[in-house]
Amino acid sequence: MAEETKVAGTTAKTRLRRRLRFLRTRARELKMIGKALVSTKHPILVHIIPMRQCNLACTYCNEFDDFSKPVRLEEMKKRLDALADMGTSIITISGGEPLMHPDLDEVIRHIRRRGMIAGLITNGFYLNEERIERLNDGGLEHLQISIDNVAPDEVSKKSLKTLDGRLVMLSQHAIFQVNINSVLGSGVKDPEDALKIAHRAVELGFTSTVGIIHDNNGQLKPLGPREQEIFEEVMALGKRSFSRFNEFQHNVARGREHNWRCRSGSRYLYICEDGLVHWCSQQRGYPGIPLAQYTPEMRHREYSTVKFCAPRCTVSCVQQVGILDNWRDPQNLKPMPMTPPATPQAELVQIGHVRGDS
């Protein structure tokens, strides 16, 4: 959340707590950047899944089910300890819907206890005043909600209309930073929705980003002229977000392939609910190794491994992590099987249809 914005209904005490948390988080982020520039040996950002189940069923999504159980708290703590021991800087909890996890507050506390920056991606449907206070108390530092449209439709219920009341609650009570992500591109009925969502986000004191969706076969497809205008406007509105430094997204908007070094499997890790390490949510199945068996040598190898999907990638958070290393260490290795004996390797999931980071 923008530190200087005053929102009606926010108490002076909340404003002070928000300001203090903002300054503390910003100081920790600067330290994180310094550490990342000095050494390439640790993960910068990890997405971890405590819960694959989701209360919604967006038709484009293949990152959820409606039956799986939450990962036990003790197991989550073990995984977080392993990541902290690797020197990880930021943990973002994702899903499924992580607010459905019964011990989420304790998961956040453990991330903070181990000195890592704590973020959360949620659809926001379970937020209320009491839940926001618990997230405040747990030490949450970033929260992101993706909103797909202004009014709910058959594709997605994550709409401004259904969520606006919860956004107001966040603007009044949250002391952590809030980012609202909207979407443009293939399958989005009305591109003007993204602009309305972004303006509402800024009005409430949040940062705003926009994700770009491609067609179903993963081809880069340029946005139309009006969509590009909207994209540039939303990026300008989101000027307080780190994403403004992301030139890749401008290339994606223009349908251009981009030349970068994806450091997934090393500087970025995706840990699924089974505790396996994957390149990212869009390339699940490789390397597919249990976190406890994922050695520094494996991370080092992935750091130098060319990712065949990089030129057409739309995963903006991994691209932002990549910026810190793009200027050094060209990649020259090819992916190779790294599964330890007796551990079955999951099937590789490649997804052409990407909706931002949710």
Find out whether 1 and 18 touch, Cβ atoms under 8 Å: yes
Among the listed residues 50, 70, 95, 139, the single contact to ligand SF4 using CB under 6 A: 95
Instruction: For residue 104, state whether it binds ligand SF4 (rule: CB under 6 A).
Output: no
Q: Does 56 bind ligand SF4 (CB under 6 A)?
A: yes
The tokens of 351 are what? 């997804």
Q: How far apart are CA 141 and CA 117, in angstroms?
A: 7
Give the span between the Cα atoms of 251 and 222, in whole angstroms: 9
Q: Is 280 in the site for ligand SF4 (CB under 6 A)?
A: yes
Nearer to ligand SF4, 96 or 205 (CB): 96
Which of these ranges, 186-194, 198-206, 278-286, 333-341, lies near ligand SF4 under the rule CB under 6 A? 278-286
Tell me whether residue 7 or residue 338 sits nearer to ligand SF4 (CB atom): 338
Q: Is 330 helix (H, G, I), strand (E, B) or coil?
A: coil
Q: How far apart are the first and last CA of the chain?
A: 18
Residue with smaller CB distance to ligand SF4, 2 or 298:
298
Among the residue ranges 54-62, 76-84, 111-119, 135-143, the one whose residues contact ligand SF4 (CB under 6 A): 54-62
Residue 232, both tokens:
């540039």
Distances (CA, A) of 44 to 104, 203, 221: 22, 31, 30
Place of tokens 């991606």: 121
Cα–Cα dist 271/281, whole Å: 9
Among 40, 63, 211, 213, binds ligand SF4 (CB under 6 A): 63
- Minimum gap (Å) between residue 175 Cβ and ligand SF4: 24
Residue 25 or 122 with smaller CB distance to ligand SF4 = 122
How many other C-beta atoms can be found within 10 angstroms of the C-beta atom of residue 110? 22
Q: In the range 202-241, which residues lie near ligand SF4 by CB under 6 A?
A: none
The binder of ligand SF4 chosen from 43, 50, 70, 96 (CB under 6 A): 96
Rounded Cα–Cα distance for residues 246 and 38 (Å): 21
Q: How many CB atoms lie within 10 A of CB 105?
A: 16
**3-class SS of residue 351:** coil
Tell whether residue 64 is a contact of ligand SF4 (CB under 6 A).
Answer: yes
* Interface size with ligand SF4, residues (CB under 6 A): 25
Q: What residues are paired with 92 via a beta bridge?
A: 47, 119
Residue 313 as a binder of ligand SF4 (CB under 6 A): the answer is: yes
Q: Is residue 149 a contact point for ligand SF4 (CB under 6 A)?
A: no
The residue ranges that bind ligand SF4 (CB under 6 A) are 54, 56-58, 61, 63-64, 95-97, 123, 158, 262, 264, 279-280, 282-283, 307, 309-310, 313, 315, 318, 358
